[in-house]
């Protein structure tokens, strides 16, 4: 599913895009706090809205699960790799340069 950076999708579309069940998605969001989707209110009801970054995070965790990690280990591994990439970026003036690593 091609999604622009500014686009957002609902829970059902996000679950289908990642390839997990809606129940899994809700567990990952509510219990493990893997991503924090925006909540949109329509009357008394509130709906989750997932960004492209949220979908990339969910896909990364799903890939780690497929390679043998447990769910909690996959979440920790993904968080650790995000912190490492973030600290590896160097700011020069107004542009951000990131070194390229074969692992990432």
* Average pLDDT of the segment spanning 6-13: 89
For residue 82, what are its two tokens?
């995000």
Domains by residue range for the chain, with CATH: 8-88 (1.10.1660.10)
3-state SS assignment for residue 92: strand
- Scan for tokens 């497929």, then name that residue: 66
Summarised one tens digit per residue, pLDDT across range 58-89 is 999 999 999 999 999 999 999 888 777 766 65
Can you give the pLDDT at residue 51?
94
Our CA dihedral for 71, 74, 79, 81, rounded to 10 degrees, sits at 180
Can you give the pLDDT at residue 42?
86
* Average pLDDT of the segment spanning 83-100: 58
- Scan for tokens 């909690």, then name that residue: 72
29, 35 contact by CB (below 8 A): yes
């Amino acid at each position: 599913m091609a999604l622009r950076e500014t686009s957002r999708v609902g829970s059902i579309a996000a679950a289908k895009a990642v390839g997990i069940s809606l129940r899994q998605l809700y567990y990952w969001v509510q219990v493990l706090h893997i991503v924090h989707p925006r909540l949109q209110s329509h009357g008394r009801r509130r709906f989750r809205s997932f960004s492209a970054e949220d979908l990339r995070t969910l896909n990364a965790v799903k890939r780690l699960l497929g390679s043998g990690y447990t769910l909690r280990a996959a979440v920790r591994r993904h968080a650790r790799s995000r912190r490492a990439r973030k600290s590896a970026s160097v700011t020069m003036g107004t542009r951000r340069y990131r070194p390229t690593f074969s692992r990432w």
